[in-house]
Amino acid sequence: MFDWKRRLLEIGLAGGLAASGASCGQGLVDEPAHTAPGTCMNCCGATSEPAHLTNSLDENPPATTLVGCALPPKSPPAPYGTPANGSVCLSDPDAGIRVAIDDLTLGYSPQEVLDTANAGSTASLTWWDGTTTRLRFRIDPSPDTLFYVQVNPPNANYCDRAMNIEQLVVTLETDDGRLAEQLAANISVRDRGQRFQIADINLEVDLDGGQLLPADLKGTLATDISAWLPPETSQFAFAFSVLLKGAACLPYCAPGTVPQAGGPLGDQTCFAPSGLITVYATYPSGLFCGSNAYAASWQWD
């Protein structure tokens, strides 16, 4: 399930919740998607609020023909994959060897990865209030962009090889002006000894603590959605999930499973839209409670 406690830490809201729980001997609820309607994440006598705020995106989830990607192979005999001896995959704490944008150490270059990531440049986006607009999306290198590769030895308990591209700029703009953003981002690619698949590319918006606060936004999204959030909301932040255009399977879903299509926020990493923006809010009612909602979803053209 979605790691709500980790997400709260990422967006800087866990301190108040954790402190509230400690004050009355209660901890965080790990799976708010299973919390009954009308209850709060950490009640402790506080006024209850819903853990998930429903809107038109819950009522009209996108359809998908994709299912969860296959499990990794056993290694050996495969050069990379789940260790056949039952041990845990080894990991390299270093970013890897710094390379040029046209380097072919892994059999493909950082430039090829960027070109693939930019295949989906326009999309139809639907907001929480049911309105629609056009989205323009692009990932570009900056003067500070760095390229790294990790060439882990095969058949040595490594699950994969890796390419890391750091300090990119991702552009998200909508015709209605709610998004007008240029955000720092990183890309990581994990392959198992062969040319990468699109589902192997992971894009992460790289903001301080993983959070996208209202002050980070240049568009009107924060102002517009604040009028919809509960009036007692004291803090809110956003998270982005992106499935790049052309992916043949859903990388974070259980193998062969169809993703949850709307409803209370469950496993956020297993989702059907091409892109999803989620808003996380806290509001003190004597003690802190929290909620979440889908702010937007989009589908590539």
Domain ranges of the chain: 4-300
- Give this prediction's pTM: 0.79
**Alpha-carbon distances, residue 64 vs 52, 248, 250, 270 (angstroms):** 23, 11, 10, 12
Reported as a single tens digit per residue, the pLDDT across 49-98 is 447 788 888 877 777 778 888 888 999 999 999 999 989 998 877 778 99
* Cis ω for the linkage preceding 77 (within 30 of 0): yes
Whether the per-residue pLDDT at 239 is higher than 70: the answer is yes
Q: Burial of 70 by CB count in 10 Å (0-12 exposed, 13-18 middle, 19+ buried)?
A: exposed
As a whole-number percent, the residues of the chain with pLDDT over 90 amount to 43
Per DSSP bridges, beta strands 235-242 and 201-205 are unpaired
Q: How far apart are CA 279 and CA 33, in angstroms?
A: 15
Q: Of the segments 87-101, 138-152, 200-214, which one has the largest average pLDDT value?
A: 138-152
- Between 115 and 42, the more confident residue is 115
How sure is the predictor about 126, in pLDDT bands with cuts at 50, 70 and 90? very high
On whether the CB atoms of residues 212 and 205 are closer than 8 A, the answer is: yes
